[in-house]
Each structure stands twice: as structure tokens, then as C-alpha cells.
Chains A and B, each alone.
Chain A
């Protein structure tokens, strides 16, 4: 303990003796560790942001949209066919064991007017259960219930963007009368802000109304009961993989699609999107980590270089230490500690620099970042290992010096 302490003190003194040289030697390690800390923070921040957005769509959701229609041999865009119905949705809820809740929506772009303000937005006819399936909350008022739906009542719940566009700041939208496609509606609730989706769509630019109201009074329909989208939530996260095949089998049966023919609908698992973005950021992270490890490698070589210089410069000192009773193991240990001290001090400086860089990037670029203690600790330990690895050869050279030759060295 005594010897260890003295060795560490001696090592730190040797570093302090030549601050500039030590700092330059550490530079590779500093940059390497800072890069790891910064990149992992940014990567984790981005991942967390994507996760949050996926969460904002609702938990463990599967989205079913109608398939593409074919008009005289020309494929129309996906969702253009009116193949999904409310009956499909209710039978999914009933028959698919992995599904806990189902909601559906009929959607159309509409012009909304309030007083002398107007705004183009999307009107969605949805069942009362829609809010809970999408894991959405109200910031004011109430959502429509079964009675509103059954009676096709002209009531609407507005997204925040629509509120911001139609109403003056501070004005209470509840109870106001707005016109959607010239049909008067009473505003009964306001949705909590949900923000943008990962692909930049404003989820708050929406008007929700009871499904029957939408179908009968506003949007109109060619076939009653058709919907533009069904969302189903899995009973548990584990059940999610079973949801898609169950729904597919059921809908193919209901739509009487013979084996070998394409589905007339598309089932999309929202977690797939999350996975894809996770994979993309993992690739990015690996790339940056390899850059960081190259920097650490270069830093290690720098340490080895300067330690070799140091051993040569201090040959006499080594001779003196050997003469007064140091064993070669003591000398080896001393230079290993010095190399490790260089890399660890560099590692600590790298962590500080990395945190500063993360803060700066978060501030300037407004990127979400999330500092990772394990990543910082890992980078620090790797830096220490680099010091030991690259310090070993110079230290062994010092330890193998012949005491007489070392004492005579000029």
C-alpha cells in the first residue's frame, strides 16, 4: 500500500513536471473517450425520442388499413379501397385472442370555420373507445360517449393545433359552435397535445367526432360501415407478435380471399418502425464507436511513444532506484502506473469534454441527448486498459535495464 501510494504520487508528479507534453500525449485518449461519451449520449437521446414518439401513438398498436385497389389494371394508392368495415373491427375484437382493444376511424380532409377564422384539417369519425386505444388524454371538456355515437350527435373534440388556429389565445373553445363542411358542431372537448410523429406529421391537427355523426352528417359514404383504418392494441407486449397473424387469418376469412391471392388490406406493426429506427441508430453508433476506438488506439501509441522517451530520459533515475534496492518489478510497476495514470487522467478529461460537448450539441442543435453512465465508465476503463497495454513495452524496457549501465548513462 505504501509502495503503491508512493508510486502513484511519483507518477502524477512525473506527469505534472511536463504538463504540455502530458496533455498532448493524452489528446488521443481524451478525444476517443469524449467521442464515445458524446456519441452514446446522442444515440441514446435519439433512441429515447423515437421510443417516446412510438409510445405517443399508443401502446403495442397494430394498424390495419385497406389494401390498394385496382382500377382497370392500374394500382391505386394503398388505402384507397373500401374493404375494411366496422364489422371487421368488432370481429377482430371478438375473435382475436391476442387483441385487447379495437378502434377504427373514417377520415377526410375538411374545412373548419369558427367566426371569421377557418382552417383545413382532418376530420375523423371514431368510436368512443378510440381515445383509450390511442392512449390519448383530454386537456379540457369530455369525450363523446356511446349515446352521442348512437344519436349521431353533432359534437366534436378538437386537437390543440385546431384550437390554436381557430380561437384567440385565452378564449375557451368549450361550448363554441364551429362549422365542419358547413355542418354546425358543438365543441365538447380538447385533446392533450401529443406532438409530431417520428415522420413529422402533426398529430394535433385533427377533429374527432362520433363515427356515426361523421358517416351520416359530414363525410358521407358510398357503403355504410366502411372505415379508413382499424387500430388494435395487443393485450400484452408479448402478445404483439401473435396479433398480426391472427388478424390476417381472420380478415382473409371474412373477406373470402382464396389462398394464393393477395390480401386486400395491410397490417402494420408500429413496433417495426421503432425497430427499424433502432437498427439505424445502432449502425450509426457502431460506426462512431469504431472511429472512437481508432482514436484510442492512436492515443495508446502516443502514450507508448512518450513513455519510451521518458524511460530514456530517466535512465539514470532508474539506475539509482535499482542501486538503492528497487527490484525490476518495482520499476516495471512504476512505469506501468505512469502510463496508466496518463491514460486515466486523459479518460477523465475525455468524460468531462464529452459531457460538455453533449450539452453544447443539445443546446445548439436542439437534439435530444441522454448521458450514459455505463458508457462513460466503459470508455474510462478502456482508456485505462489502453494505458496498461501500451505502457507495458516501455515499462518492461525500463525494468530490464542493467543497473550499472543505467547509472553510467549520460
Chain B
């Protein structure tokens, strides 16, 4: 079967003044639909750059990136926005919820840009908040929620338009260990329940333990790509 995400010899080169920064140096990576994988590496290893590329926030300097049957490298900014809207969900380290906006409205935000009818927005947002365990908190503001709860709202928002890929950049980086475990278990459950492909960027090995494949970056290259045999990403773990 053809992979959902296909990166081939992808380079990303920035220019910071006179200095040339080679963030990615010819990486190739295939991710099948439904996979749950972790991208690990030290900071500056290129893992975040890679995730921005996969998330269509950025474009490669060289190489090709196919998402499903679309060659992303050739798309305009608006076409990439359309892909982000329908096929990709982002979860950030610092949650990035809109302040002074209720949990429900935060979850509805991507649906506004996808032209989902108003009533449907609210219905789906309620359903998603319930799915991440926040039933009854629909009208709380981010400032009234704990870090773990805010990240759950962010995950619900990322799932708003039923994307095929969920990209999480250090999703537990701002959370205590108990909340981190809850968030990762939520990912495991969502992955089985919603058949969504999940890519988690992290530098914490025990977070990577929840995934079934670990891709390690160093200096803009992939240095290892190993399947994980662990019980944590199994569906039983999600039930437990």
C-alpha cells in the first residue's frame, strides 16, 4: 500500500544573515495511514522543521513531499492552508488556545475556516470535548482549565475537521508527569478509535515509549528508524 506521507530526499536550508543553516539534509521518510510514531532528537536536530514540513506550514528547499496523492511542494500558500484545514491537526507544546475564548469555541475554530455550518460546529465540538474527557467544561476559558485540560482542548481542536494526520510538537513539554501520561494515553485511545495517523515530536524517551515506531534525528538526518515492541501503544493500554 502506498504510504500516506512520503518524504524523498528533502532538504531545508535557511539563511540567517550570512549563515546558511541546513536544518534538513536529505531525509526520506514514509508514514503509513494509521501509524503512531515518534520523532525524537536533540534540539536543533531538525525534528521540528520536519514536522512543519509534514504539517504544510513550510515547504522543502529541495526534494518531494507527497501527502496522500498531493505533491505539497508545488502548492500555493492558500492551497496549503486548505490542506491544513481539512487533513492536518496540530497540537503544540504551549497549547496555543485562544485566550478569552471558551473551550467550545476553540474547538470550533478550525471548522469556521472549513465552512462547517454553525450548528454542526457546536454539535461536533461538544462531541469532541466529550471524547477527550471534558464534558461539562465547554464554556470554560483556557485560564480556568489546568494544563492537562488545556492540552485536551487543543487535541479536540486538532481533531475538529477529522484530519488524517495529527501532529503533536512536544505535547507534554509543559505538563507534569501525571498529565503527560493522561495525554499520551488519550493519543493511544484516539488512534484506535479514530484511525488517525499520529506523529509526536519529543525529546523524552518515555513519551516515545507510547508509540510503535521511533524515528531519531541528528544534525538534519535520520539516524535510526526502529519499530517498538511495547504494550503501551496497544489498545488494551488505552482501556486500562
Number of A interface residues in the complex (CB < 8 A): 23
- Minimal beta-carbon separation of A114 from chain B (angstroms): 81
Interface locus among A130-138, A300-308, A321-329, A338-346: A321-329
Cβ–Cβ contact A13 & B109, under 8 A: no
Cβ–Cβ contact A2 & B118, under 8 A: yes
Cβ–Cβ contact B84 & A328, under 8 A: no
B98-119 CB contacts (< 8 Å) to partner A:
98, 100, 109-110, 112-118
A317-359 CB contacts (< 8 Å) to partner B:
317, 319-330
Smallest CB-CB separation from B99: which chain A residue? Answer: A317
Interface of A is mostly: helix
Residue in A2, A13, A320, A322 whose CB lies within 8 Å of B115: A2
Cβ–Cβ contact A329 & B113, under 8 A: no
B50-75 CB contacts (< 8 Å) to partner A:
52, 55, 57-58
Cβ–Cβ contact A327 & B82, under 8 A: yes
Q: Is A224 an interface residue (CB 8 A)?
A: no
CA separation between A403 and B52, bound complex, in Å?
Answer: 10
B77-98 CB contacts (< 8 Å) to partner A:
77-78, 81-82, 84-86, 90, 92, 96-98
Write out the residue numbers on chain A whose beta carbons fall within 8 Å of the beta carbon of B213. none
Number of A-B contacts (CB under 8 A): 66
Residue in A5, A6, A319, A327 whose CB lies within 8 Å of B81: A327
CA separation between A328 and B81, bound complex, in Å?
Answer: 8
Q: Is A278 an interface residue (CB 8 A)?
A: no
Residue in A320, A325, A328, A329 whose CB lies within 8 Å of B96: A320
Cβ–Cβ contact B78 & A328, under 8 A: yes
Write out the residue numbers on chain B whose beta carbons fall within 8 Å of the beta carbon of A321. 109, 113
Cβ–Cβ contact A324 & B78, under 8 A: no
- Minimal beta-carbon separation of B139 from chain A (angstroms): 15
Cβ–Cβ contact A326 & B118, under 8 A: no
Q: Is A407 an interface residue (CB 8 A)?
A: yes
Write out the residue numbers on chain B whose beta carbons fall within 8 Å of the beta carbon of A319. 96
Cβ–Cβ contact B57 & A2, under 8 A: no
Cβ–Cβ contact B78 & A2, under 8 A: no
Cβ–Cβ contact A324 & B85, under 8 A: yes
Cβ–Cβ contact B84 & A316, under 8 A: no
Residue in A13, A17, A316, A326 whose CB lies within 8 Å of B113: A326
Write out the residue numbers on chain A whose beta carbons fall within 8 Å of the beta carbon of B115. 2-3
Write out the residue numbers on chain B whose beta carbons fall within 8 Å of the beta carbon of A323. 55, 57, 84, 90, 96
Residues 203-235 of A, flagged 1 when their CB comes within 8 A of B and 0 if not, give 000000000000000000000000000000000
Write out the residue numbers on chain B whose beta carbons fall within 8 Å of the beta carbon of A326. 81, 85, 113
Q: Is B191 an interface residue (CB 8 A)?
A: no
Q: Is B161 an interface residue (CB 8 A)?
A: yes
- Minimal beta-carbon separation of A401 from chain B (angstroms): 11
Q: Is B189 an interface residue (CB 8 A)?
A: no
A2-B112, A323-B55, A327-B81 known; 10 new pairs, CB 8 Å cut-off, are A2-B116, A2-B118, A3-B113, A321-B113, A323-B57, A324-B113, A325-B82, A328-B78, A330-B113, A403-B57
23 interchain pairs, CB-CB under 8 A: A2-B112, A3-B115, A316-B96, A320-B97, A320-B98, A321-B109, A322-B84, A323-B57, A324-B84, A324-B160, A325-B81, A325-B85, A325-B86, A325-B110, A326-B85, A326-B113, A327-B77, A327-B78, A328-B77, A329-B78, A404-B52, A404-B57, A404-B58
A residues apposed to B, CB below 8 Å: 2-3, 5-6, 13, 17, 316-317, 319-330, 403-404, 407
